[in-house]
Structure 1
Amino acid sequence: MVPETWIYATWLVKAFLYLGTAFFIGGAFCYFLLGPYVEIKKIIIKYITVGAVLGLISSGLSFFILIGSFANTGLSGMWNSNYITILINTPTGHAHVIRSISFLLLLLFMLVKLNSGISQISKFEGTIFALLITPIIFSFSQLGHVTNLSLFAQILLSTHVFAMSLWMGSLYPLWKTSRIIQGLPLKERMHLFGKIAAFIVGVLLLCGVTIALLLLKNFNALLNTPYGHGLIIKLLFVLSILLLAAFNKWYFTPRLQDPKFANQLGYAILFEMLLGLAILLTTSYITTVVGIE
């Protein structure tokens, strides 16, 4: 296999890792946001479980793809015991293992929850969620393009990933909510989400801009490097989704007592989900295929 194959495989796996993380974190957030609605809570628990599955598979694959790229002997190189032994004893290997174990424990927990038929998540269980999600979020700063930067930059990236996951991962539950709840209850939930999302987006943008300034030493790097070009494309997608989110908040939400506008909001959220997917694909591309020069 040519080296580019491993790079593109890493890109796709990282995109699925972003999705799994977003499903889990955004789903957990919406679970508490939409607490009074049992039917939606059951859907969200399944959604969170899917996120844990995606996270576990993509975490494991990312480790073995890295092994395969080192061995460079085709697919069989992914199971090269010598490289596995070497990598698993490095900080990179530790980050992969800890992330995979965290996703595995989250998945086991969610499977038990699904089998029990109980949709209620206690405060104690929520604390377990938080403890297991923390190393997953921090792992992005240990395996990404800020690994060699300061602890401050790593905390910024971890916060950025967390805020992104809250927002992007909330879109599907909100879309399902627009299909199930109608009238004033829908308006109240969407209004509450809009208020919280305004803060989330502020944190997301602040961290994102600061990280970009730390990575790009000057304005020419933004205009004249592949990473800068990818970042510009990502910013255009981000601007588009921000404009759409603002339109949803200021136009649709105040009118949600009318079923017609609730239906239109559903389509707007679907389009927002597509833009979110484009952002995740672009982010994973510039951090794996392109990278900082």
Structure 2
Amino acid sequence: MISEMWIYATWLIKVFLYLGVSFVIGGVFCYLLLSHYIELKRIIIKYITIGTGLGLISSVLGFFILIGSFANTGLSGMWNSNYITILISTPTGYAHVIRSISFLILLIFMVVKLSTGTNQISKAEGTIFSLLITQIIFSFSQLGHVTNLSLFAQILLSTHVLAISLWIGSLYPLWKTSRLMNGFPLKERMHLFGKIAAFIVGVLLLCGASIALLLLKDFNTLLHTPYGHGFIIKLLFVLSILLLAAFNKWYFTPRLQHSKFANQLGYAILFEMSLGLAILLTTGYITTVVGIE
């Protein structure tokens, strides 16, 4: 019973981590995409700040939940000093610490931006921001299924995390854009996003398929294991969101000069967000609760 509690707690925390990373990466992308619109930039900065907060809390809690699962003595086991000392000296503990520190620095950076009312990010600040995000993204390859695989597999996973986070994390800013903009400016921004998203989807599918081939050794694993079943469900969600994104690009975007299509696009993006959340929940479930055989 106790072990199940830690497993499901890890799943929940992992989903919040996915959301935090998505908010930050997608937010930064949309900050650049919508850099000419002051009102949207302020909203996006708040969005990124929420993401850094979620990332920090989930990273720190993830570390202590891991300690608790090792101690297996209830909630008090999360503070077991012996296990903390042991874990923090391992590559797993190091990855947790680096991720937590990176999120902490990002959160402080964003809180300062909000408190001073500054919407601009200098090149130096952008460089530091990029380095911290890179550390966070790479940490996924140090804590998941590909840890024991080659560096190439780890790079594939990191790129996959970057692509999916950029896409899913962009949905809320794009939804706000559809609420606050209209006519040709909205059509122009959505058209540009669609062109970039086509490249992102290509990278996402290529990396995802490559990782799947490395992890799923044969069709028996895919068809006859809980992990394989979960992976199929995730794949169905991914195909659904791809179809919806294609519909948005080819049907709604060319018609956005009319206000009714802008409203309909907003509803479509909300549905796309729900599919994105389903993908994150399924990913967290199969990598935490089920696990690959």
TM-score (structure 2 length as normaliser): 0.99
Q: Alpha-carbon deviation of 1:202? A: 0.4
Partner of residue 289, structure 2: 289
Partner of residue 194, structure 2: 194
Q: Alpha-carbon deviation of 1:242? A: 0.2
User: Which deviates more, 50-59 or 111-120?
Assistant: 111-120
Please give the secondary structure, in 1, of the residue aligned with 2:121: coil
Q: How does 1:146-161 map to 2 (within 5 A)?
A: 146-161=146-161
Please give the secondary structure, in 1, of the residue aligned with 2:222: helix
Partner of residue 80, structure 2: 80
In 1, Cα distance between equivalents of 2:254 and 2:157? 34
Partner of residue 242, structure 1: 242
Partner of residue 89, structure 2: 89
In 2, Cα distance between equivalents of 1:249 and 1:144? 34
Partner of residue 20, structure 2: 20
- Structure 1's unaligned 5+ residue stretches are none
Q: Alpha-carbon deviation of 1:120? A: 1.1
Tell me which stretches of 4 or more aligned residues in structure 1 moved more than 3 Å. Answer: none
How many residues end up aligned between the 2 structures? 293
Partner of residue 214, structure 2: 214
Q: How does 1:1-293 map to 2 (within 5 A)?
A: 2-293=2-293
User: Which deviates more, 240-249 or 123-132?
Assistant: 123-132
In 1, Cα distance between equivalents of 2:258 and 2:128? 40
Counterpart AA for 1:183? G
In 2, Cα distance between equivalents of 1:264 and 1:64? 44
Q: Deviations over 1:210-266 (max 9, x none)?
A: 000000111111000111000000000000000000000000000000000000000
Counterpart AA for 1:223? L
Q: Deviations over 1:24-79 (max 9, x none)?
A: 00000000000110000000000000000000000000000000000011000000
Q: Alpha-carbon deviation of 1:184? A: 0.1
Counterpart AA for 1:17? L
Counterpart AA for 2:258? D
In 1, Cα distance between equivalents of 2:200 and 2:84? 39
Over the residues paired in the alignment, what is the CA RMSD in angstroms?
0.6
Q: Deviations over 1:74-116 (max 9, x none)?
A: 0000000000000000000000000000000000000000011
Q: Percent of pairs identical after alignment?
A: 83
Q: Alpha-carbon deviation of 1:145? A: 1.1
In 2, Cα distance between equivalents of 1:167 and 1:231? 20
In 2, Cα distance between equivalents of 1:229 and 1:153? 22
TM-score (structure 1 length as normaliser): 0.99
Please give the secondary structure, in 1, of the residue aligned with 2:65: helix
Counterpart AA for 2:154? Q
Q: Alpha-carbon deviation of 1:118? A: 1.0
- Structure 2's unaligned 5+ residue stretches are none
Q: Alpha-carbon deviation of 1:292? A: 1.0
User: Which deviates more, 209-218 or 116-125?
Assistant: 116-125
In 2, Cα distance between equivalents of 1:229 and 1:126? 41
Counterpart AA for 2:64? F
In 1, Cα distance between equivalents of 2:138 and 2:156? 10
Please give the secondary structure, in 1, of the residue aligned with 2:73: coil
Q: Deviations over 1:134-165 (max 9, x none)?
A: 11000001001111111111110000000001
